[in-house]
Amino acid sequence: MIRLAHFSDIHFNLPSHQVAWRELAHAKRLLGWLGMRASRYRRLAGARTIAAALQADIAQQQLAGVVFTGDMTCLGLPGEFEQARQALEPLRQRQDVVGIPGNHDAYVDEAVGAFERYFPGWLRSDLPHRGWPSPFVRFFGDVALVGLESSRPNLPHDSSGEVPKQALWQLDSLLDHPELRARHVVLALHYGLLRPSGAPDHRLHGLRNADALMQLLPGRVALVIHGHMHRRFMLPLGNGSWVGCAGSVSDTKRSQAYHLLEFEDGVLRLEARRYNSTLQAFEAWPDAPHAGSFPLLER
């Protein structure tokens, strides 16, 4: 049995007095900061407290690994990354954590690469690879976790992503590697393939080349996990594959949950654990929507 924890979109952020005006010289950052002040700051202000509760809860689980699928920050500011580094130091010290940046971590050109600098161990690979942004692999028993980059800086009105063509080619080859063919393959990226309804995401929010990516998955990838959409859900992709979003672990407008993924005897069991703001702790969520058991692709 292999158990993984999956959390996403924690969005560390800074109060106004800690943001220098020169850091808001970029139009997108300024507009994003104004939007944060209008509503999102209140929804995400508890990131540090939730990070402490999350790490305490994860420490109590019997896990083979932990997966983070992006949006560590809100505006990709150095101060936000530093706050995240300090708050998540226990996770940074673990050797079983996998993480990839989200679009808010690559918010503007100067933010690109910051996630990799602050959380370098989260992107290491158990197989040789040709450097970021090519896919990387971590092995957890009979599960192969493949991390894939899909985030990029965009214009202010655009929060879409795209997997680089080179990374798609390398993923196609990687999925035929004997070490992966013998395992349940879990693909982790920031952007989702479908909306919670099962419909494609819209052009200015979703993964631009989702169709090209989905063509590589049938018969090869058992589960796709992602963030970006703050609402948690689980959907069938067809051909025995599934896609699951853990939502945002910190957004008070959503469920503030993370997922436990258990792989055993060809079955995936998904459990959600939800944040209790009164107790400032995570707890079991027995009747969580979209939790339960799901048959996996035969290896």
User: What pLDDT, on the 0 to 100 scale, is given for residue 131?
Assistant: 64
User: What pLDDT, on the 0 to 100 scale, is given for residue 298?
Assistant: 77
- Tell me the domain boundaries of the chain: 2-295
**Once rounded to an integer, what is the mean pLDDT over residues 204-215?**
97
**Once rounded to an integer, what is the mean pLDDT over residues 103-113?**
95
User: What pLDDT, on the 0 to 100 scale, is given for residue 19?
Assistant: 76
CA 79 vs CA 47, 134, 190, 235, 263: distances in Å: 14, 28, 22, 36, 37
Mean pLDDT of the chain: 93
Find the range with the poorest average confidence among 15-19, 83-87, 135-139: 15-19
**Once rounded to an integer, what is the mean pLDDT over residues 237-250?**
93
CA–CA gap between residue 267 and residue 262 (Å, rounded)? 8
User: What pLDDT, on the 0 to 100 scale, is given for residue 270?
Assistant: 98
Q: What is the pLDDT of residues 9-54, one digit of tens each?
A: 999 998 877 777 787 777 788 787 777 766 667 788 899 999 999 9
Q: Residues for the chain: how many in total?
A: 299
User: What pLDDT, on the 0 to 100 scale, is given for residue 38?
Assistant: 60
DSSP code per residue over 200-264: PPPTTTSBTTHHHHHTT-TTT-SEEEE-SSSS-EEEEEETTEEEEE---SS-TTS--EEEEEEEE
Top-level CATH class of 2-295?
alpha beta
Supply the pTM of this predicted model: 0.96
Question: What single letter denotes the amino acid at residue 203?
Answer: R
